[in-house]
Structure 1
């Protein structure tokens, strides 16, 4: 196995630069529209840009099939997510999460946001995308586990896409205002989109896996999964959802992450 160390280092630097450019542009847009929640749209775009830069920098060095997969999978996932969030948030006020965060800002709120929102998300995107950035420079051909990764990625995109579409339809019905969605994929997991997100990154890791350097990046899908389940994902969302009627019953019978058949009510209840 040959690993192109020199081009890899150049690729890392250019990826970091591309992340900085995307974040600065996003910050400028946020100042114009008056809300920092536009960073949520940029989240998926960051991974797509990193994948594109890595693909270009690894040209002539890594295995062609792996390079193409590590381009197409993140770009499709990141592009779909960016478009979905942009459509969902256009014309909406600032996200309450950012209002709460910036209310505690010492000094200039914009500089605080630049550090605590933009820089933090940029660093996370750069680190989480490590399997892409390392995997693209391997000369080893794709192992069978790569196709398991593609299947896992497809499963993840299905759960994210279908889950988001079901939530959009639910919210468009005025009769559902203030209610909890409990149908479709949401019947089997309280967070189909977060489960799908985790599947996507474990799938990308398996596609990238071909040598010991990539094995070291296993901390990235692990970190993403923890972020989704214990960090800023499910934990914060459920704190908001728990205020709605019927939450306790829904949470008691529905899996918190991995899709499972709904639990039956106890005979004593």
Structure 2
């Protein structure tokens, strides 16, 4: 593929995601439940990423690696999107986005639209990582392609386990008002976020090779996802909400538990 073809694909995927997130804004405005934003984002990344993976290169039919990446993207999207959809259906609003709306005041509808468009365009490198992995020039599947499968499945399995442990903890009436610190949650305050990040490592594993200079672009996926989860839309607003609702219990949890990477619990200041 030529540079022009790569850039055309990137622009097409970014525009498609922008339109889909505009639709997410309409849903959020009409339902009043911003939890659907994350659901639509996940399914949108899955849809656009899958189509990008099987995008015909030079008019040729999709090869084995393109179909492999398409299946990986779809599997990730369906698992996570379904989980977020079930979670969103059971709440009136996502507390993170609700707090943004409170801060924005009367400008909330306009600010939310701009926020979602920023999210769409900022997610374009994630789509491009999928595209670059799918269109790696090597003929036939290689050992690293199978390793990429294992990395993504490990991420999905870890995230699903963390979600299940949190759901079981919350379902027990005896745990009302407490902080979940069992299972994976004893080792990380956000093990679901950690394993979500692991999923995005699969695309560089597939894409990076000496005959694929575009493979370096796939590294943007785990780098950006780490930044989003740890510094922007993931941990910061969620932990602010947990401190408001759990207070000193959550501060004590912060002091003994790693924020992101799973590590043995410890005593001392917050990680």
Shorter chain as denominator, the TM-score bin is 0.7 to 0.9
Displacement of 1:195:
0.8
**Structure 2 unmatched runs, 5+:** none
Q: Which residue of 2 aligns with 1:235?
A: 236
The whole-number CA distance in structure 2 between the counterparts of 1:21 and 1:37 is 18
The whole-number CA distance in structure 2 between the counterparts of 1:147 and 1:153 is 10
Q: Which residue of 2 aligns with 1:83?
A: 82
Kept after mapping to 2: 8 A contact 1:19/1:50? yes
Q: Which residue of 1 aligns with 2:110?
A: 111
Displacement of 1:109:
2.9
Residue 189 in structure 1 maps to residue 188 in structure 2: yes
The whole-number CA distance in structure 2 between the counterparts of 1:179 and 1:93 is 21
**Structure 1 unmatched runs, 5+:** none
Kept after mapping to 1: 8 A contact 2:66/2:134? yes
Residue 124 in structure 1 maps to residue 122 in structure 2: yes
Identify which of structures 1 and 2 has the higher relative contact order when contacts are C-alpha pairs closer than 8 Å and 6+ apart: 1
Q: Secondary structure at the match of 2:232?
A: coil
Q: Deviations over 1:204-229 (max 9, x none)?
A: 22122231111133133112112222
Return the match for 1:55 from 38, 50, 53: 53
Q: Deviations over 1:95-151 (max 9, x none)?
A: 2322332234376432221112x1022112222222112232332144433333222
Count of aligned positions: 262
Return the match for 2:19 from 18, 21, 24: 21
Q: Deviations over 1:5-53 (max 9, x none)?
A: 4543443343223213322322222232123331111121122012222
The whole-number CA distance in structure 1 between the counterparts of 2:85 and 2:47 is 17
The whole-number CA distance in structure 2 between the counterparts of 1:177 and 1:189 is 20
The whole-number CA distance in structure 2 between the counterparts of 1:106 and 1:240 is 18
Q: Tell which deviates more after alignment, 39-48 or 226-235.
A: 226-235
- Compared with structure 1, are the counterparts of its residues 236 and 104 closer, same or farther at alpha carbon in structure 2 (3 Å cutoff)? closer
Q: Which residue of 2 aligns with 1:217?
A: 218
The whole-number CA distance in structure 2 between the counterparts of 1:134 and 1:216 is 7
- Compared with structure 1, are the counterparts of its residues 197 and 91 closer, same or farther at alpha carbon in structure 2 (3 Å cutoff)? closer
- Compared with structure 1, are the counterparts of its residues 65 and 38 closer, same or farther at alpha carbon in structure 2 (3 Å cutoff)? same
Displacement of 1:152:
1.8
Q: Which residue of 2 aligns with 1:246?
A: 249
Kept after mapping to 2: 8 A contact 1:70/1:136? yes
Q: Secondary structure at the match of 1:179?
A: coil
TM-score (norm 1): 0.85
Kept after mapping to 1: 8 A contact 2:125/2:220? no
TM-score (norm 2): 0.85
| Root-mean-square deviation (Å) | 2.5
